[in-house]
């Protein structure tokens, strides 16, 4: 049986997905005893990398700080170009409670990291989602709107004054640090280079427009502009499963005369999210909720 | 981190799937400290129940014995009727190495259980699969051929003399006890009551006929004769995934003018088996071999 140490996850998103040497440097920086770098992957079109750190809270906190520090030292947003919206060299740092920990632990860690990023690196910070200091500051898309280029002006508005710091970092911009539930980053590539198709589909499926519950979606160009992608965040996979997103994208795409080519999952997803999809597509009459996985029992 | 205690699995199949009171009695009998009854399910048409016990070897051994004892005391094969082939009240007892244990551990446990079943219960035993005493006695289907009704004669043949005992148990028949790798019991229900369709498809897909590697399959009638079922064992899911079985059944069924209605997984399956299916059907370009499950990291 396992000891009930607190375990949390942290998923920093960094604005560099082209220069593999920089990505490796950041990965090395995130290596701290007690935390494991469970996964990292880069996308050159998004020009963005996603790191997944899992472990004990103090170690994950330290790994996230060191990764942010390395990002601030190496990335200059003034010369950054990519398909994905961004406002910081380290764009967003969410903490997620996993085992023996709760959202309140992660809210406190987010606040502590925000404070340290400003104190040690002069990197200003928005606290977002569960860590947000006001309801209108919860949504990352609202905070990030306008991007790095517009941020120096935006933070003069008291509504968007940073939670830590008072001036944009000249090369690293501003970072959103927060606490949230597990999220699945699920991208669906279409068989077209017509980005307007991806944007239309994204607009149909996002929950803000009355689409699928807990779904955020944007249309972007990937593969050097040759592929239109519906880039999706599923913020509550217990409400909206990946298969539901995929099948909805598929039938909305059909209406536009395009089809789904392939998908990708960025980072990790909870086991139950995969089980839901396996059960759906296999046509299992077994309840997907009933855990039927050997590894769950030892 | 986990301590590396030896963990094994045992999956007794019992010839009773109609009388729920008996099934509950057997489940209660299998409750032993150090072993957990991870799952059990019954099928009235197969007239068979499958129990999954996971834990430390000594405890799993004891739980399997007690379950067998309860089955011998309560089930009379002379009045048993069901779609699934069987030769014993407790028909088959495989042991599977999981963590910190190997096949040799399970072969020894199988032999010890076989000896005890004969000594304590006068239940004769065939050792099968990795525990078999000769190559021609490895395959369960070969040992079981002819069923309970024919077994008193069959075991007079020296080729099929039991490994333990020398005479059939009058009400409980004979039991196959063995050691094997994890197996997935995967049933595919067709939209027809024509059992000949299920038999034809089973014959096409089974590896013995040059079908899918590691696949055993029979055609049976379930749901009171209203549904034809292709009942499949996948003995090596790393070679043949569930999606491959399902899609092959689907296209062979189409040739016969029938379709797949639903499937079911009996007992537990390894996590990777579900991941393979989720990745295939989601069209993930992520490698299914790369573990992307949060729970794998803590």
Assigned token pair, B263 = 């499937």
Residue B193 near residue B226 (C-beta atoms within 8 A)? yes
- Predicted confidence at residue B285, as pLDDT, reads 86
Cβ–Cβ below 8 Å for A262 and B268? no
Tens-digit pLDDT profile for residues A155-189: 999 999 999 999 999 999 999 999 999 999 999 99
- Predicted confidence at residue A83, as pLDDT, reads 86
- Predicted confidence at residue B1, as pLDDT, reads 43
- Predicted confidence at residue B290, as pLDDT, reads 61
pLDDT at A148 over 60: yes
Cβ–Cβ below 8 Å for B263 and A270? no
Identify residues of B whose CB sits under 8 angstroms from chain A CBs: 2, 7, 9, 36, 38-39, 54-55, 98-99, 182, 242-243, 246, 260-265, 267-271, 274-275, 277-278, 280-286, 292-295, 297-298
Distance from CA of A287 to the nearest CA of B (A): 10
Assigned token pair, A110 = 């987010």
Compute the distance between CA of residue B17 and CA of residue B4 in angstroms, rounded to an integer.
36
Residues of chain A with Cβ-Cβ distance to B297 below 8 Å are 36, 38, 54, 268
Q: B292: helix, coil or strand? A: coil
Residue B14 near residue B87 (C-beta atoms within 8 A)? no
Tens-digit pLDDT profile for residues A246-261: 999 999 999 999 999 9
Known catalytic residues of B are: 84
Helix (H) or strand (E) holding A249: helix A242-255
Assigned token pair, B220 = 């049976």
Read off the pLDDT of each residue in A16-41 and give the average, rounded to a whole number.
96
Cβ–Cβ below 8 Å for A2 and B7? no
Lowest mean pLDDT among A228-237, A289-298, B93-102: A289-298
Q: Per-residue confidence at A3, pLDDT binned at 50, 70, 90?
A: low
- Predicted confidence at residue A288, as pLDDT, reads 54
Cβ–Cβ below 8 Å for A293 and B269? yes
- Predicted confidence at residue B292, as pLDDT, reads 85
- Predicted confidence at residue B178, as pLDDT, reads 98
Q: Tell me which of B162 and A285 has the higher pLDDT.
A: B162
Which chain B residue is nearest to residue A269, measuring alpha carbons?
Answer: B293
Cβ–Cβ below 8 Å for B271 and A294? yes
Could you give the C-alpha distances from B46 to B22, B171, B174, B176, in angstroms and in order?
A: 15, 19, 18, 18
**DSSP for A85-152?**
--SBSEEEEEEEEEES--HHHHHHHHHHHHHHHHHHH---EEEEETT-SSGGG--HHHHHTTHHHHHH
- Predicted confidence at residue A285, as pLDDT, reads 86
- Predicted confidence at residue A255, as pLDDT, reads 97
Q: What phi-psi label fits residue A122: left (phi over 0), alpha (psi between -120 and 50 degrees) or beta? A: left
- The active-site residue, picked from A84, A136, A169, A297, is A84
Assigned token pair, A146 = 């306008």
pLDDT at A295 over 90: no
- Spans of chain B, pLDDT less than 50: 1-2
pLDDT at A290 over 90: no
Residue A91 near residue A14 (C-beta atoms within 8 A)? yes
Cβ–Cβ below 8 Å for B268 and A292? yes
Average predicted confidence (pLDDT) for chain A: 95
Parallel, antiparallel or unpaired: strands A175-179 and A90-99: parallel
Which chain A residue is nearest to residue B4, measuring alpha carbons?
Answer: A1
Distance from CA of A181 to the nearest CA of B (A): 13
**DSSP for A208-247?**
GGT-STTEEEEEEEETTTTEEEEEEEES-TTTS-HHHHHH
Tell whether pTM > 0.95: no
- Closest Cβ–Cβ partner in A268, A275, A283 for B260: A283
- Predicted confidence at residue B295, as pLDDT, reads 86
- A158-167 as b/e: b if 16+ CB within 10 A: eebebbbbee
Identify residues of A whose CB sits under 8 angstroms from chain B CBs: 2, 7, 9, 36, 38-39, 54-55, 98-99, 182, 242-243, 246, 260-265, 267-271, 274-275, 277-278, 280-286, 292-295, 297-298
- B288 burial type by CB count under 10 A (0-12 exposed, 13-18 middle, 19+ buried): middle
Residue A67 CB partners (closer than 8 Å, separation 6+): A12, A14, A26, A29, A30, A51, A53, A90
- Predicted confidence at residue A1, as pLDDT, reads 43
- Predicted confidence at residue A297, as pLDDT, reads 83
- B11 burial type by CB count under 10 A (0-12 exposed, 13-18 middle, 19+ buried): buried
Helix (H) or strand (E) holding B25: helix B20-29
């Amino acid at each position: 049986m396992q000891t009930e140490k607190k375990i949390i996850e942290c998923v920093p998103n960094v604005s560099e997905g082209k220069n593999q040497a920089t990505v490796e440097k950041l990965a090395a920086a995130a290596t701290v005893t007690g935390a494991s770098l469970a996964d990292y992957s880069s996308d050159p079109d998004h020009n963005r990398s996603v790191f997944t750190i899992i472990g004990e809270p103090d170690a994950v906190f330290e790994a996230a700080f060191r990764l942010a520090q390395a990002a601030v030292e190496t990335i200059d947003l003034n010369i950054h170009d990519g398909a994905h919206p961004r406002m910081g060299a380290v764009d967003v740092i969410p903490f997620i409670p996993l085992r023996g920990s709760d959202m309140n632990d992660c809210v406190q860690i987010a606040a502590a990291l925000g404070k340290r990023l400003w104190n040690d690196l002069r990197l200003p910070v928005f606290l977002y989602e569960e860590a947000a200091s006001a309801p209108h500051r919860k949504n990352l898309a609202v905070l990030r709107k306008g991007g790095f280029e517009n941020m120096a002006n935006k933070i003069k508005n008291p509504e968007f004054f940073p939670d830590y710091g008072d001036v944009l970092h000249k090369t690293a911009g501003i970072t959103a640090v927060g606490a949230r539930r597990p999220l699945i980053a699920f991208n669906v590539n279409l068989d077209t280079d017509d980005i307007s198709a991806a944007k239309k589909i994204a607009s149909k499926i996002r929950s803000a427009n009355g689409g699928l519950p807990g779904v955020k979606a944007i249309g972007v160009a990937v593969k050097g502009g040759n592929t239109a992608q519906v880039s999706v965040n599923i913020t509550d996979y217990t409400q909206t499963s990946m298969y539901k997103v995929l099948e909805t994208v598929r039938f909305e795409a059909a209406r536009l005369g395009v089809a789904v080519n392939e998908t990708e999952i960025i980072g990790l997803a909870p086991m139950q999210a995969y089980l839901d999809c396996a059960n759906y597509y296999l046509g299992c009459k077994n309840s997907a909720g009933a855990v039927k996985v050997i590894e769950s029992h030892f």
